[in-house]
Amino acid sequence: MPDFDVIVVGAGPAGSCAALTIARTGKSVVLIERGPFPGSKNMYGGVVYPRILDALIPEWWNEMPVQRWVTRRSTMLLTDTQSLSIDFRSDAWGDAPYNGATAFRPDFDNWLANKAVEAGATLVCSTTVTGLITGANGEVIGVHTDRPDGDLTASVVIACDGVNSFLAKERGMYPHTDAAHFTLGVKETITLSKDIIDERFAVRGNHGVDIEILGGTSGVNGGGFIYTNLNSISVGVVLKLPKLAAQSKRPEEIIAGLKSHSAIAPLVEGGTVSEYSAHLIPEAGLKMMPKLLDDGLLIAGDAAAMCLAAGIWLEGVNFAMASGMYAAQAACEAIEKENTSAKGLSLYKKLLEDTFVLRDHRKLRRAPQLVLSDRVQHMYPALITGVVQGMFQVNNPVPKPGLRKILKNERRRLGIRTTDLAKDAITGFRSFG
Partner 1 sequence: MTPVIGVCVKWIGSQPNSGHEADARFAQFSASDQAALETALQRAEQLSGRVRVVSVAPAAARTHLVALCASGAHELVHIAAEGQSSSAHVAHELAQHLQECASVWCGDYSLDRGSGSVPAFLASTLGAQQALGIVGITSSEVSNTLDLLRRLDAGRREIVRVVEPFVVSVEGSLATLRRASLASTLRPTATLVDASLVSQSAPSFGEFSPFRPRPRTIAAPVGETALDRIKSATSANSPQKHSEIVTLAPEAAAQFIVERLTEWGYLS
Ligand X SMILES: Cc1cc2nc3c(=O)[nH]c(=O)nc-3n(C[C@H](O)[C@H](O)[C@H](O)COP(=O)(O)OP(=O)(O)OC[C@H]3O[C@@H](n4cnc5c(N)ncnc54)[C@H](O)[C@@H]3O)c2cc1C
Task: List residues binding partner 1 (CB under 8 A).
Answer: 30, 36-37, 40, 106, 110, 122, 124, 126-127, 145-152
CA–CA separation, 161 vs 304, rounded Å?
A: 9
Q: Which does 317 bind (CB under 5 to 8 A by kind): ligand X, partner 1, none?
A: ligand X
Task: Report in angstroms how near the CB of residue 123 gets to partner 1 at its nearest.
Answer: 10
Identity of the amino acid at 245: A
Q: By rule CB under 6 A, what count of residues binds ligand X?
A: 39
Nearest to 249 by CA among 293, 186, 202: 186
Supply angle C-alpha 316, 111, 153, rounded to 5. Answer: 80
Cβ atoms of residues 432 and 368 within 8 Å? no
Cβ atoms of residues 181 and 283 within 8 Å? yes
CA–CA separation, 289 vs 174, rounded Å?
A: 7
Restricted to residues 309-338, the positions that interact with ligand X (CB under 6 A) are 314-318, 320
Residue 122 or residue 177: which is nearer to partner 1 going by CB?
Answer: 122
Taking CB under 6 A as the criterion, the residue among 47, 116, 121, 233 binding ligand X is 47
Q: What is the DSSP string of 152-187?
A: EEEEEEEE---TT-HHHHHTT--S---GGGEEEEEE
Residue 162 or residue 344: which is nearer to ligand X going by CB?
Answer: 162
Task: Report in angstroms how near the CB of residue 389 gets to ligand X at its nearest.
Answer: 31
CA–CA separation, 249 vs 236, rounded Å?
A: 15
Residue 187 or residue 259: which is nearer to ligand X going by CB?
Answer: 187
Residue 30 or residue 192: which is nearer to ligand X going by CB?
Answer: 30
Q: Going by C-beta distance under 8 Å and a sequence separation of 6 or more, which residues neighbour residue 15?
A: 8, 9, 31, 33, 113, 158, 160, 161, 300, 301, 324
Q: Is 74 exposed, middle or buried (0-12, 13-18, 19+ CB in 10 A)?
A: middle
Site stretch for ligand X (CB under 6 A), options 8-16, 73-81, 254-262, 265-273: 8-16
Taking CB under 6 A as the criterion, the residue among 4, 6, 44, 406 binding ligand X is 44
Residue 310 or residue 370: which is nearer to ligand X going by CB?
Answer: 310
Q: Which does 399 bind (CB under 5 to 8 A by kind): ligand X, partner 1, none?
A: none
Restricted to residues 142-171, the positions that interact with ligand X (CB under 6 A) are 160-162
Site for ligand X contains 215 (CB under 6 A): no
Taking CB under 6 A as the criterion, the residue among 6, 7, 13, 232 binding ligand X is 13
Report CA 178 to chain centroid distance, whole Å.
19
Residue 129 or residue 263: which is nearer to ligand X going by CB?
Answer: 129
Residue 17 or residue 383: which is nearer to ligand X going by CB?
Answer: 17
Restricted to residues 264-303, the positions that interact with ligand X (CB under 6 A) are 279, 281, 301-303
CA–CA separation, 339 vs 331, rounded Å?
A: 9
Interface residues with ligand X (CB under 6 A) are 9-15, 32-35, 41-42, 44-48, 128-129, 160-162, 185, 187, 236, 238, 279, 281, 301-303, 307, 314-318, 320
